[in-house]
Amino acid sequence: MIDPKTLDDLAKKLADSVPAGIRELQQDLERNFHAVLQSTFNKLDLVTREEFEVQSALLARSRAKLDALQNQVEHLEQQLKEEQSSNL
């Protein structure tokens, strides 16, 4: 998920952007902005950068293994064709 400090900073920036006449409500606005932002980000089903990096590394390793297996199958198929043609 998103870093709570980032969410707090964003809520504070939004509250700070409110005109001076209603700044007395700033704490309430910060809490409300924080709740709305948290709810919105939760609905987005986001992952952390760390989770993304882990999954990217896992995908890269899986892709490398898949490529190696594909090359091995192609090599074995070629050997099989050569053996079949030499038996004819």
Q: Is the pLDDT of residue 62 over 70?
A: yes
Q: What would the two tokens of residue 35 be?
A: 């709740």
Task: Identify whether residues 41 and 7 lie together within a single domain.
Answer: yes
- Look at the chain and report how many structural domains it folds into: 2
Q: Is 7 in the same domain as 42?
A: yes
Residue 54 has pLDDT above 90, yes or no: yes
Task: Looking at the structure, tell me whether residues 55 and 24 fall in a common domain.
Answer: no
Of all residues in the chain, what percent carry a pLDDT higher than 70?
92
Which of the four pLDDT bands, split at 50, 70 and 90, describes residue 78? Answer: very high
pLDDT (average), residues 44-50: 84
Question: Does one domain contain both 63 and 40?
Answer: no
CA distances for 79 relative to 40, 65, 82, angstroms: 57, 21, 5
Could you list the residue range(s) of the whole structural domain that residue 28 is in?
1-46
26 and 9, same domain (yes or no): yes
